[in-house]
Structure 1
């Protein structure tokens, strides 16, 4: 089972023979340099869990710092706006420096679920049990519309506060249990 990758050959013919320390270091370096795990697994005939264990044990801290990057809400919104405006997920990953496409796919799914939830909240209740009989049914509809509009406004204001806190690096929201300052 000899295959070539970047000038290095796999000399492993038997899966029952353990890997040498040098082979493990070489494989870890290949992953950290960007070689896809799928290629390494097929080249060396190993299981994904073995590779994951080696990366946990022998991988550099820089590799894991880059791999487990956290994205701010404003970064997520920027990526989602780009995807909504017609950019493909792959292009968005390249543009915004996101290594894993599934991260953006998950954000898109979450956004669709949130939008569906908002639409359900906005839709007026049309149950006959809830609507009173007579002239007040028009009032109920009007109140439901006002409530839906108020909920959207609250959500928009909370988003604005999140953005302001993140960009200005100040705490705007009052902490629960915080003491008031003397006047």
Structure 2
């Protein structure tokens, strides 16, 4: 008979250590971008977890925390259209183009301001953003 190999299976778990991920190492600009993708439904939370190798256990908590910090709904003040303008398709197309341009400019401004605040907070160690809750 053939000899059985002893010791093939061990209790050694060194190759199976769960790595600890420091989520503070992620750039703030990346966090903002990821949250904007999730909020705009261009990426699901599960897709983000798989694509960026977030912890399978903590990913919902991390994304929820990032959403609380970095979600920023953009509100624009728009002029109302008259019923004649709504009836004319070319006017609607012009209106859509104008609104898209306005939205693009507002988004660029928002990104620039958020980046400027992030740099000021990081480099000059300033606390610019208002803290929510009783810790003000």
Normalising TM by the smaller chain, what interval? 0.3 to 0.5
TM-score norm. by structure 2 comes to: 0.39
**Larger Cα-atom Rg:** 1
Q: Which structure's relative contact order is higher, taking Cα pairs within 8 Å and 6+ residues apart?
A: 2
TM-score norm. by structure 1 comes to: 0.30
